Amino acid sequence: MTIPSSIGFLSEDSCLPCTPEEERRTIQHLDRAATSNRKEGDLYYLISSEWWNGWKDYVGLDDSSQQLIESPLAASIRPGQIDNSELLSSEMDDENDELILREGLVEEINYTLVPLEVWKKFKEWYGGGPTIARKLIPQGFNNRELAVEVYLLCLRLINAADNSQKDIRISKKASVNELYNRISALFKLERSKIRIWDYFSRTKHKVLSELDQSLEEVPLSMGQEVLLEVLSDGVLSRASEADSTGNRLALAPLEPPRSSITIAGGPTVSNRCPTGSLPDLVQETSSGLWNLESRKDSSNIATKVDSGGLTGLLNLGNTCFMNSAIQCLVHTPQLVDYFLGDFNFEINKHNPLGMHGELAIAFGDLLRQLWSSSGMSVAPRLFKGKLARFAPQFSGYNQHDSQELLAFLLDGLHEDLNRVKNKPYIETKDANGRPDEEFADECWENHKARNDSIIVDVCQGQYKSTLVCPACSKVSVTFDPFMYLSLPLPSSVTRTMTVTVFYGDGSRLPIPTTITVPKHGCCRDLTQAISTACCLSQNEALLLAEILNHRIYRYFDKPLEPLSNIKDEDHIVAYRLPMKHEKSIKLEITHRKKDRSTSGFQNTGYDKFFGTPLVTCLPDGSLDNSNVHGALSLVLSPLLRKRTSEVSSRSSKENGYGSGSNSVTLTENLNVLQEERSLALSDAEQEDDEIPPFEFSFADEKDSGRNSFFKDSPPPSRRVKVLVDWSEKEQGLYDLSFLEDLPEVYKNTGFFAKKTRQEAVNLFSCLEAFLREEPLGPDDMWYCPGCKKHRQATKKLDLWRLPDILVIHLKRFSYNRFMKNKLDTFVNFPTSDLDLSQYVMHKSATMRSHVYELYAVINHYGGLGGGHYTAYAKLPKENRWYHFDDSHVSPVSGDSVRTAAAYVLFYRRVDGDTPMQEADASSHPSSSRGSSP
């Protein structure tokens, strides 16, 4: 279906609609003006991405060029009213009586931000809403960046007097003083008589007393508790007194372990508030007690262990991406030794590219806590606060990419610990024919002259980059440092789908059609592929639908809906209808037959639905028994068991389907079909002189039948649902098997299923794909110093120098205009004896070993909408693997760390004199390439 027209939706005082090109130019002008003059406090408005993408298609606005493009949809399909309802939660803000945003929204996936003037113009043209305004706030290091605060900080305020709770939403940039004023006004209390505690996990951490400090700096986490205490005559109330005698209220039971053997555990905090209920009184369980604030050792703590490094991290609300990366870093042996020692003298507080040493200090403090052997989970709130301050992209409590966080953290730690206080200027030079060894060493020394830290010592390597001009064959060689390797995963870019095509004019039997579409395409791609496969005429259109339990579950009437929403096990049909079927009344025909356990057709839930619903149209727009019966006979005619005339060809003429002009009417078709039914009955030795019409009734949205036929008024919508009750006699007249057993979109069976299960990607094949020569993209042209022009050169990467810690990122996520996609391909990677000698170009005899063993893994489970990160890490002294799932830590076998969830791999160099452990012969390139899991 097309996007509905906006005619009738414009407000009374709106101007006449502009042309698509005029709308595009107006919006581009307003957007450029707002972008060039952005300042703190400016208002931006959220618009549903579904509506926004529809408008861009209408005006022909391309994402990459922002220019007018040739589009078959341009100037013909105008979006309707703005509809932001899908962005909103069903909750209401009790304090301000405002709607609340739905959790987990992602910019450019769920919504788009537009400036005030653009929003005003859209409202003038289209109307709709609701209005969702947010402010532009400063953030980042020294507040040098401006960003829209889409999600306000949500705090759970607990009143110590009566233990009542109330949610407060306030900007994270608001001061502690503003929070006091807000609460004072909300409860009508004297400002001087209230005291607010940081009450994270029902633990009194500290009174919020620094009034000029921002809530972001405190720091307060999304959904956490703050405690309100009220002073009466200068003293606390009795309830508050009891609460402030210590931290006994902070004591809470351990979260139930997720495995039979759990080493560290604790409560998980969600995006809004803690999951589960934490008690208001001291809780004693068989598992013992723990205290988040004091972290005092207790002989009663059942989870305490003797060895360090087995401490979990509390989830502060979608922070599993951060926890998994931290666990891998804090189990890197060189970093553990460094941060457990005295590193303060190496902190570079004056590096303009660093964070004044604050990030390194926060990470060092967190690492020390995790290796303190206390056995209690740590809440990384202070570290999260520093992270949000210096990397605004990770602020808030939405899910993020663990590898992106890892990249920022390694770079940030390097700059904070850079031993070079004053970086010298070094002019970039060309090789000028010098040997690679000489030029590579020079480039490395130049890099070290400006970058010298524990991160460079341990984690940075060097690769050779060769560019060749396709025009003049100019060769350019550079040697560049790298912190990690991002390896591509081979994957298919297309998808095979089977869709059953039904003819709304009754001209043919339904036909299953198998087509190939872009794997990350949208419904428009599917519609176009089916149209080509079934030779759709210019007078016809397709209506896609999903069938579930013999009823139409949903229509795919949004051209830009991603095909990932259609699963392989779904049943999809395409109805061939007239081009402008939106203007006709569509009949949605659902089939019922008598349940053998009941007598008669009853609307009591005992009627049995069967077959596939059909859809046809009433071209003249009228709705009565005669027209409905005629349409039913027409669309069911191909299923008659005996056909004596060419009704199928005649019935398709100008009932909104054929190319003729009023050659056959619906009534004439009905007469011919009645003759066919009579002959079929005669062949079946039936004696009835008059054929009774189909027994049918109109239905509501719940498929319950009723008897009103809209005689005196038009139907409430253009879609009318009809229930057809099939008697045993009629079931004998028609071959209803064509309506049964719809094929699945894709059924992976037999030989192909076995082949798919055996397919596996080897880590070495991923590395070879990364090192393979390939042309640069059209958007990544290289300026050739020989031609003096931008050329689409070929690029070749080679490994030259490998680091002691080799981090390998498996590129499981792909991005396009509409969505992110994840590849769940199993990668067969070695856990030991990873020998990269054949891939390293520098063959100096003085080079160290190129053999590595695995010591940590970041895993990602599930999809992007509801994914979860965990980590595996190996304790070298124990030679044992552990699973870190937020606050839960449990031992695992070495074989279990190789899964399809592996996302980032951490290897450490094994020198020749170091004995290898857990040798795995299958991991060597000579024996593992091409192996299957």
Among 147, 200, 142, 211, residue whose Cα is nearest residue 175:
211
Q: Three-class SS of residue 544?
A: strand
- Report CA-CA distances (Å) from 874 to 4, 656, 738, 795, 892: 57, 69, 59, 37, 10
Q: Which is the catalytic residue, given 356, 447, 868, 924?
A: 868
- Asked if residue 219 has a cis previous peptide bond (ω within 30° of 0), the answer is yes
Say which amino acid occupies 203: T
β partners of residue 828: 762
Among 193, 191, 165, residue whose Cα is nearest residue 178:
191
The 10 Å Cβ neighbour count of residue 113 is 19
Complete DSSP assignment for 826-863: -EE--SS-EE-GGGB----TT----EEEEEEEEEEES-
Contact 855, 871 (CB under 8 A): no
Q: Three-class SS of residue 581?
A: helix
Cβ-proximal residues to 873 (8 Å cutoff; 6+ apart), any chain: 309, 327, 328, 331, 855, 856, 857, 881, 882, 884
Q: Three-class SS of residue 360?
A: helix
- Give the integer Cα–Cα distance in Å for 309 and 32: 52
Q: Tell me, rounded to whole angstroms, the distance of Cα 627 from its chain centroid.
A: 47
- Give the integer Cα–Cα distance in Å for 857 and 640: 62
- In the structure encoding, which two tokens stand for residue 424, read together? 């010298």
- Report CA-CA distances (Å) from 159 to 162, 228, 293: 6, 5, 21
Place of tokens 């192909």: 752
The 10 Å Cβ neighbour count of residue 48 is 20
- Give the integer Cα–Cα distance in Å for 401 and 864: 10
β partners of residue 324: none
Among 403, 455, 333, residue whose Cα is nearest residue 857:
403
- Report CA-CA distances (Å) from 530 to 506, 522, 523: 18, 13, 11
Cβ-proximal residues to 127 (8 Å cutoff; 6+ apart), any chain: 9, 10, 11, 14, 81, 82
Strand 494-503 and strand 572-578: the pairing is: parallel
Q: What is the DSSP letter of 175?
A: B
The burial of 901, by beta-carbon neighbours within 10 Å (0-12 exposed, 13-18 middle, 19 or more buried), is given as: buried
Contact 230, 161 (CB under 8 A): yes
Q: Which is the catalytic residue, given 154, 320, 328, 522?
A: 320
Q: Three-class SS of residue 116?
A: helix
Phi first, then psi: what are they for 478, rounded to 5°? -130, 155
- Give the integer Cα–Cα distance in Å for 724 and 697: 7
- In the structure encoding, which two tokens stand for residue 117, read together? 């003037």
- Report CA-CA distances (Å) from 49 to 46, 83, 114, 720, 819: 9, 10, 11, 30, 11
Known catalytic residue at 868: yes
Share of the chain residues as helix, strand and coil, in percent rounded to the nearest 5: 25, 25, 45
Phi first, then psi: what are they for 340, rounded to 5°? -80, -15
Alpha helices by DSSP H, listed for 559-707, are 625-636, 647-651, 666-683
Known catalytic residue at 320: yes
CA atoms within 13 A on the CB side of 133: 11
| CA gyration radius, the chain | 34
- Give the integer Cα–Cα distance in Å for 197 and 189: 16
Residues belonging to the active site: 320, 868
